[in-house]
Chains A and B, each alone.
Chain A
């Protein structure tokens, strides 16, 4: 288990892109470990719990880590590795209180101030978006690499780039200071998801590199940042 290791590669499920994500997740795991965020806004808690249970089995077999989007209750019920809060989710500090100190906690942010507050309130990482134009929101404004770089410099913790990320542009995000990437269509609409994961791992986890920002050290806690490969 990756424990509090910050995601370098965070895959977000989306039934509108892929109704049955299990087979693609299993295939993607052949490219190496990653974090999966179960992000199904339309599902009731019971259905979400069942889907989380199925996906966790797949992830456990291949070295993946499960986060639940928004629903702290579901994450605790299923024994997930953590929660990713949306911008409109419960306060970060409240989620941290519920999750305890060990589980992973991230938050979606669009502004530096949000990110600074989230990290100070106990988030392990934030996503900053949208770095690139997205197919889900055609024509919507995006940050672009330079603005992302400027914002990243002012954020005191791990930042994952989100929005329009694909294997082909992830390197630009890394050059702009991203500690990792979060993606939806870039994996679930890709013809070869294992290859996408392998490419992203080569960029963000070369040689099992440890993260730049680390939580308070514990003796013999040598856990790598993106889950077991």
Chain B
């Protein structure tokens, strides 16, 4: 195969093998920032967030609409992402890949590998839809939607976080009950209404926790209380 259009002008006997310059992988992101993790197991820990643009799901309660805003979509090379994270300093030692849906992005494995090589501890928050978790991810937060993702993703997860509406379906309640028995680190988090937890969803989440005999914990988006992104 000819690697450059310039060689197409030559007769075949002059054909040479040229390794084309690899096209850099570009990652569609909509947010890069450092903040405190506000939810779940690592609440309060400084974390650099890389939010991917785009998600195959369309959850009506999604509180991160930027991943669908074309004006927030930036295509960045892996090197640019790493340089942006380094500019944040020590607060970016742990990187959370979130979304949108990181698992649905091409080149994710390569990015994780490069981040590891650059010394970053990589975590991921995912709905479990879009592919397998690549090697090198040190912590997986699974936030399953409906229908539930494959069982293997649940078992790979280090924590499972169910976002709970005021009136969850029996099927969803069944999933929460199942994984509260089969997984050691399961959280329920009330659906958000703007920057506040929806009161009815909160009541339901609290009730689930109280009924769970210690198997479920309540996750709140504490960063929003103090105006952190």
The docked-state distance in angstroms from the alpha carbon of A178 to that of B79 is 18
Partner of A219, one of B34, B79, B88, B226: B226
Number of A-B residue pairs having CB atoms within 8 Å of each other in the complex: 79
Given known pairs A219-B227, A220-B227, A221-B227, the reply for A212 and B83 (CB within 8 Å) is no
Question: Shortest distance in angstroms between A178's beta carbon and chain B's nearest beta carbon?
Answer: 10
The docked-state distance in angstroms from the alpha carbon of A157 to that of B72 is 13
Number of interface residues of B (CB under 8 A): 33
Question: Shortest distance in angstroms between B83's beta carbon and chain A's nearest beta carbon?
Answer: 4
B72: chain A residues within 8 A (beta carbon): 209, 212
Chain B, residues 29-52, CB within 8 Å of chain A (1/0): the string is 111111110000000000000000
- For window 201-222 of A, CB contacts with B under 8 Å fall at 203-204, 206, 209-210, 212-217, 219-222
Partner of A120, one of B30, B71, B81, B86: B86
**Centre residue among A154, A179, A210 by max chain B CB count within 10 A:** A154
The reply to whether B32 and A214 contact each other, CB–CB distance below 8 Å, is: yes
The reply on B69 being an interface residue by CB < 8 A is: yes
Interface, chain A (partner B; CB < 8 A): 116, 119-120, 149, 152-157, 174, 177, 179, 203-204, 206, 209-210, 212-217, 219-222
The docked-state distance in angstroms from the alpha carbon of A32 to that of B108 is 39
B71: chain A residues within 8 A (beta carbon): 174, 203-204, 206, 209
A119: chain B residues within 8 A (beta carbon): 83-84, 87
**What are the 8 A-B residue pairs with the smallest beta carbon separation, nearest first?**
A156-B83, A156-B84, A220-B227, A214-B33, A217-B35, A219-B226, A156-B80, A216-B34
The reply on B173 being an interface residue by CB < 8 A is: no
The docked-state distance in angstroms from the alpha carbon of A220 to that of B35 is 12
